[in-house]
Amino acid sequence: MGHLGDQIVSAARGWIGTPYMHQASTKGAGTDCLGLLRGVWREVLGAEPEAVPAYTQDWSEPQGDERLWRAAKAHLIAKPLGNPAPGDVLLFRMRAGGVAKHLGLQGQVPLTGGTPTFIHAYSGHAVVESPLSLPWQRRIVARFAFPEETV
């Protein structure tokens, strides 16, 4: 499993500096958090499993619909929250009562001490590798692994 995780982290780090752009998924030109995940999927696994419908900045909020979580469960492998590995997909709930709609990819997972990291794109920033600090860790609602191969 480690090999695939390392490939995912390496691919995701290749996107660092790509400007944030809503609904985009083009390395170097623009991406959002879902676009980053989609781009890494294409680089590591090949064709995306499904077309992504257009979405607005506040998608799913009014209905409280966990669309992103459902899609993750359909295409990724659910993991226990407390079992981090490089390359894991992290799903965040950014505010209490809101839907989970921010994604990141686990970067380093230090064995002792040190802060874990995650790679993500978020509004107003480019793709960055950030410390997975306690405030971020508290927002994680699900953890997934990429499938070893696509069907």
pLDDT over 70 (residue 2): no
> For 149, which DSSP code?
S
Q: Where are the domains of the chain?
A: 2-47+64-145
**What is the Cα–Cα distance from 37 to 104, expressed in whole angstroms?**
8
- Amino acid identity of 49? P
The SS3 of residue 79 is strand
- Amino acid identity of 48? E
Q: How confident is the model at residue 64 (pLDDT cuts 50, 70, 90)?
A: low
CATH class of 2-47+64-145: alpha beta
Q: How confident is the model at residue 150 (pLDDT cuts 50, 70, 90)?
A: low
The predicted structure's pLDDT at residue 1: 44
- Amino acid identity of 5? G
pLDDT per position as a tens digit, 105-128: 999 998 878 889 999 998 888 999
Average pLDDT across the chain, whole number: 89
The first and second tokens of residue 109, run together, are 């997972």
> For 53, which DSSP code?
P
